Amino acid sequence: IIFSFVCMSVCVYTFMLMMQRWGLNTYLYGPKDDLKHRLLWREVYSPEEEVQLRTLILEAQSRGLRFVYALSPGQDIVFSSACDLTLLKRKLRQVSDLGCQAFAVLFDDIDHSMCQADSEVFSSFAHAQVNVTNEIYRFLGEPPVFLFCPTEYCGSLCSPSVSKSPYLQTVGEDLLPNITVIWTGSKVISRKLSVECLAEVESVLQRPPLIWDNLHANDYDSRRLFLGPFKGREPQLRRHLRGLLLNPNCEFEANYIPLHTLGSWYRVGKEEQKVANALDECEECDYCPDRALSTALHDWMEELNQPLQAGEKHFDLVLCLYLLKEEREGRDGERKRLNPPSQANYQAPPSGGSRGQKTQGRVICSGKGLLSESQVRLLVGLHYLPHEHGPSAQKLLQDLTWLKSNCHLVSANTKKTPPQKVDEWRGRASRFLSLCEDIAQLHCSVVGGANRAVLYDLYPYVWDLRNTALMAKAFICWLGCGKTTGADLLGVESEPWVFKGGVSGEVQMLLPIGSSSELFSHPPPLFPTSRLYNIRPYHSKDKVYDICESLYSYSSGRTQGGQESSMAHPDIIGDRCLGPCLALCPEYSFILEDELGVCGCVLGILDVRSFAKRCQATWIPAMKDKYPPKGAYFDDLIQLMEEDQGEYPDSLLYHFPSQLRLDALPELVDISVSRTLLTALLNALKANGSQGVFCEVQPTDRQRLEFLTKLGFLEILRGEARSREGVVLGRLL
User: Starting at the edge strand that comes first in sequence, how are the strands of the sheet with 589-594 ordered?
Assistant: 534-537, 589-594, 597-605, 658-661, 692-697, 727-732, 714-717
- Give residue 50's identity as a one-letter amino acid code: E
Cβ atoms 216, 289 nearer than 8 A: no
Residue 113 CB burial class (10 angstroms; 0-12, 13-18, ≥19):
exposed
Q: What is the DSSP secondary-structure string of 326-366?
A: ----------PPPPPPPTTT--PPPP-TT--SS-TT-----
Cβ atoms 14, 313 nearer than 8 A: yes
722/727 Cα distance (integer angstroms): 10
Active site residue 109: yes
Distance (Å) of CA 620 to CA 34, 539, 616: 68, 22, 5
454/449 Cα distance (integer angstroms): 9
Cβ atoms 200, 162 nearer than 8 A: yes
The region, left, alpha or beta by phi > 0 then psi within -120 to 50, assigned to residue 232 is: left
CB-CB neighbours of 194 under 10 Å: 16
595/461 Cα distance (integer angstroms): 23
**SS3 for 691?**
coil
Distance (Å) of CA 562 to CA 69, 100, 568, 630: 68, 73, 10, 19
134/578 Cα distance (integer angstroms): 76
User: Starting at the edge strand that comes first in sequence, how are the strands of the sheet with 210-213 ordered?
Assistant: 2-6, 318-324, 243-246, 210-213, 180-183, 145-149, 102-106, 66-71, 26-29
**Beta-strand runs (E) in 125-264:** 145-149, 180-183, 210-213, 243-246
Q: Are strands 318-324 and 589-594 parallel, antiparallel or unpaired?
A: unpaired
453/447 Cα distance (integer angstroms): 11
Q: Are strands 534-537 and 589-594 parallel, antiparallel or unpaired?
A: antiparallel
Cβ atoms 711, 678 nearer than 8 A: yes
Q: What is the DSSP secondary-structure string of 229-278?
A: PS-SB-GGGGGG-SEEEE---SBGGGGHHHHHHHHHHHHHHHHHHHTTT-
Distance (Å) of CA 553 to CA 205, 351, 548, 569: 74, 11, 8, 15
Residue 314 CB burial class (10 angstroms; 0-12, 13-18, ≥19):
buried
Cβ atoms 249, 217 nearer than 8 A: yes
Active-site residue among 109, 286, 290, 423? 109
| Torsional sign, CA 91, 92, 96, 102 | positive
Cβ atoms 645, 612 nearer than 8 A: yes
**SS3 for 662?**
coil
Cβ atoms 140, 97 nearer than 8 A: no
Give the residue numbers annotated as catalytic, written as ranges.
109
